[in-house]
Chains A and B, each alone.
Chain A
């Protein structure tokens, strides 16, 4: 089969795989951005046992490979309960992968939030208090606002890493774009022994990170209307 005959078949399979990649990316972001803030609160809580527990959790999650976390989260429940809890087929694999990714990224985000919040000068909080704002108002209207502006560059870094990290989900056989590309090496839909589909998946990652770089750059610019 010639390249021109192969291309439409491969292109379609890679698109299907990339859709899975994109889905995992957005689900992870949607889950981990807020969860990261909650984990930050817990880890900085004035209630010591809670704070210590969460610091330990952050240590475990950041200290073990995401690939290992995927394997534990997907396979362990079935072994413990004797029943597959993730649902059958690809959907179950997706749910397990999404949970592992959300939790992992939330722990990284929690640390970035911490850096951002601690970087806001104490004078800003004091100014808020002087103006008679409540603790809640000070956090949401003064600290959080300035924190968001500060964390855009480190968050951009993590977000672009996330696009590529989604490929780790293939360890539990989630059929993302690299899996889809590799299928043609083994033989799929009449095409076997072709390495180019796998190389071609790089184009998808480059396109995705290109779009994200531009979008995050714009966001950074938009947030630079005030400086402190």
Chain B
């Protein structure tokens, strides 16, 4: 008898759980999939859903959770240290101090950055994020703060043969899934395989499983060439020029707050100072 009652209780719990799962598939269809959707539309749907503003939400929590991926020189740890540093990390700390909240860095899987924001497991993506059409459609983005380019990385001894986009057509590429590099590969009609991150793309080239990779020029400067981890690689063709921004949830009022903060930090020279410290001074965009 007792057993039966107990079983019924578990059953009820599970029904609730399944009801959840059933609601699930509907959700993604609500989010605008089409990058062409106008920003105004996004803004209004979001505004009706959120009863408390994103800024209030973060202030009430007393902590801003920053999604990152361990990406030198933007967000990384020095040897033997457990503290996140880098141009983005230091700016995020300064922004949190400005808001009067704590800052918490969380490593995320880059593919899931929009999911992480929507699920509120992070409050912003601040990790040298390229402002692509997709990113702009799914997130509320700050003003651009850094210039970047997508570059083609090949083995140094073959670099001579691949100086133009046409030369690269015959190569097989490895690109980070969901990255700006993947987008460039599609746009140029390259044969590309999506891998889990930019470092894996480089590893594919060193392992010979791909002929070339497309990664951020800021990362290429830091990671490949003589005296680095990937001495046998070099980069040749720049495919585009693009910019980095910080992403918040759609309709968030934190975006405006950050833009104001950027303007202030730039006027005070603090932003330039940090950019010099992490060797991204040349790429910094005036605010």
Query: Known: A89-B104, A186-B197. Contact between A78 and B79, CB under 8 A?
Result: no
A41 touches B7 (CB 8 A): yes
Q: Which stretch (A22-30, A68-76, A143-151) binds chain B?
A: A68-76
B7-29 vs A, Cβ < 8 Å mask (1 yes, 0 no) = 11011001100101101100100
Which residues of A sit under 8 angstroms from B7, Cβ to Cβ? 38, 41-42, 45, 47, 50
Within A26-70, the residues touching B (CB, 8 Å) are 38-39, 41-42, 45, 47, 50, 53-54, 57, 60
Which residues of B sit under 8 angstroms from A123, Cβ to Cβ? none
Closest A residue to B118 using CB positions: A79
Within the complex, the shortest CB–CB distance from A71 to chain B, in Å, comes to: 8
B119 touches A173 (CB 8 A): no
B185 on interface, CB distance cutoff 8 Å: no
Within A140-188, the residues touching B (CB, 8 Å) are 170-173, 175, 182-183, 185-188
Within the complex, the shortest CB–CB distance from A163 to chain B, in Å, comes to: 22
Within the complex, the shortest CB–CB distance from A48 to chain B, in Å, comes to: 12
Complex-state Cα separation, A153 to B200, whole angstroms: 38
Complex-state Cα separation, A172 to B120, whole angstroms: 13
Within the complex, the shortest CB–CB distance from A126 to chain B, in Å, comes to: 22
A82 touches B121 (CB 8 A): no
B80 touches A189 (CB 8 A): yes
Q: Which stretch (A114-122, A192-200, A208-216) binds chain B?
A: A192-200
B11 touches A75 (CB 8 A): no
A88 touches B121 (CB 8 A): yes
Complex-state Cα separation, A189 to B83, whole angstroms: 10
Complex-state Cα separation, A85 to B223, whole angstroms: 38
Which residues of A sit under 8 angstroms from B18, Cβ to Cβ? 57, 60
Among A54, A74, A82, A93, the one with the most B-chain Cβ atoms within 10 Å of its Cβ is A82
A128 on interface, CB distance cutoff 8 Å: no
Among B109, B198, B230, the one with the most A-chain Cβ atoms within 10 Å of its Cβ is B109
Closest A residue to B72 using CB positions: A187
The A contact surface, by secondary structure, is: helix
Q: Which of A41, A80, A183 meets B70, CB within 8 Å? A: A183
Which residues of A sit under 8 angstroms from B21, Cβ to Cβ? 60, 72, 76
Which residues of A sit under 8 angstroms from B81, Cβ to Cβ? 189
B120 touches A47 (CB 8 A): no
Which residues of A sit under 8 angstroms from B120, Cβ to Cβ? 78, 82-84
Complex-state Cα separation, A177 to B207, whole angstroms: 22
Complex-state Cα separation, A93 to B77, whole angstroms: 21
B115 on interface, CB distance cutoff 8 Å: yes
Which residues of A sit under 8 angstroms from B4, Cβ to Cβ? 45, 47
Interface size in chain B (residues, C-beta < 8 A): 54
Interface size in chain A (residues, C-beta < 8 A): 48
A190 on interface, CB distance cutoff 8 Å: yes
B50 on interface, CB distance cutoff 8 Å: yes
B54-83 vs A, Cβ < 8 Å mask (1 yes, 0 no) = 000000000101000111100011111100
A89 touches B106 (CB 8 A): yes
A188 touches B77 (CB 8 A): yes
A205 on interface, CB distance cutoff 8 Å: no
Q: Which of A53, A90, A92 meets B15, CB within 8 Å? A: A53
B77 touches A88 (CB 8 A): no
Within the complex, the shortest CB–CB distance from A79 to chain B, in Å, comes to: 5
A127 on interface, CB distance cutoff 8 Å: no
B149 on interface, CB distance cutoff 8 Å: no
A9 on interface, CB distance cutoff 8 Å: yes
Query: Known: A57-B18, A189-B79. Contact between A82 and B49, CB under 8 A?
Result: yes
B10 touches A38 (CB 8 A): yes
Complex-state Cα separation, A76 to B14, whole angstroms: 16
A11 on interface, CB distance cutoff 8 Å: no
B119 touches A187 (CB 8 A): no
Which residues of A sit under 8 angstroms from B79, Cβ to Cβ? 9, 189-191
B interface list, Cβ under 8 A from A:
3-4, 6-8, 10-11, 14-15, 18, 20-21, 23-24, 27, 49-50, 63, 65, 69-72, 76-81, 104, 106-109, 112, 115-116, 118-121, 197-200, 202-203, 206-207, 222-223, 228-230
Pick the 3 closest A-B CB pairs, nearest first.
Answer: A193-B229, A78-B119, A190-B79
A selection of 16 A-B contacts at a CB cut-off of 8 Å is A42-B11, A47-B7, A50-B8, A72-B21, A75-B116, A76-B20, A76-B24, A77-B20, A77-B119, A79-B27, A172-B112, A173-B112, A185-B199, A187-B199, A190-B79, A193-B202
Beyond known contacts A9-B79, A71-B112: 18 more, CB 8 A cutoff = A38-B7, A41-B7, A50-B7, A76-B119, A78-B120, A79-B118, A84-B121, A88-B106, A89-B65, A173-B109, A173-B112, A175-B107, A186-B199, A187-B199, A188-B76, A189-B79, A193-B203, A195-B203
